Amino acid sequence: MFTGEELAAFLAANGSTNASTRKSLLAHHKAAGHVIAARRDLFVAVPPGFAPDGFAVDPFLVAAKAAGDAVVAYHAALQLHGRAYSHTTEIIYLTEKVRGRAFKFQGTTYKPIAPPPALVRAGAQDFSVATLDRQGQSVRVTSLERTLVDALDRPDVGGGSWEEIWRSLETIEFFDVDAVLAYCNLVGNATTTAKVGFFLDQHRESLMLNEPQLAAFRAQRPKSRHYMTLPGGRKERGQLIKDWNLIVPTSVVERAWEEPIS
């Protein structure tokens, strides 16, 4: 994967700064099947021996190059970490340079989203961002701790349903709870912190959490009752969980998606 800017820098380093030369070079290699355009100003070099029409590009490599500050996030981060219950053909990436709409390439939709405003205000856009090596290319992705919070904060892009989010997050055997709390503090949303606390409380045994750890989240719960709404702000029948001042969908409390034991 390479961008037009990277190509220009490479050519400049080799003595060519002519924009027309760059365009001609790209046109030649695209016509020869050596290069595929993923979108404007984003290209894929086709390895020797592969036909351009049959060469499948790793979608996470595309997302990594979709913006200079791109960070794979939300449900896409769960997929990249190998923790998503279901896989989708939509890759969400964070960028402060959100320009235009999502784009589609080889059946995958790439959707840019701005980082949470609270992080931008704090200059902490890269808080809890990891870098993974994927086929020799660096891909930035939110950590599992940050992804836990992000998915519960934005269920619309965190998985689309509580079942998907819950089943995905339940595959994670360990969280650095201090990092989770620190990120909740940055986001600064009491309802989100309560949702995170409720999830951790519901899984306290499997995650080996103690009461003081959970109390740190409980101290930041909303002062009044808040609904744990579905994507789009929709509400469903719920139960008040007093410890968290949350009205949680009954399906989540009872884990309605689990197979009944006969």
Q: Are residues 22 and 117 in the same domain?
A: no
Position 141, amino acid: V
Output the pLDDT for position 212: 96
Q: Are residues 223 and 116 in the same domain?
A: yes
pLDDT in tens, 108-140: 999 999 999 999 999 999 999 999 999 888 999
Q: Are residues 49 and 63 in the same domain?
A: no
More confident of the two residues 10 and 174: 174
Does residue 231 surpass a pLDDT of 80? no
Confidence band of 155 (pLDDT split at 50, 70, 90): very high
- Which of 10, 37, 54 is the last residue before a domain boundary? 54
Assigned domain for 260 exists: no
Assigned domain for 258 exists: no
Residue 8 structural domain: 2-54
Assigned domain for 259 exists: no
Q: Are residues 50 and 69 in the same domain?
A: no
Element of type H or E holding 196: helix 190-202
> Average pLDDT over the chain, rounded to whole?
91
Q: What backbone torsions phi and psi does residue 252 show, to the nearest 5 degrees? A: -80, -45
- Which of 54, 82, 98 is the last residue before a domain boundary? 54
Q: Are residues 222 and 144 in the same domain?
A: yes
pLDDT in tens, 33-69: 889 999 888 999 898 888 888 889 999 999 999 999 9
Domain count, the chain: 2
Across 38-47, 73-82, 224-233, 243-252, least confident range? 224-233
pTM as predicted: 0.91
Q: Are residues 73 and 164 in the same domain?
A: yes
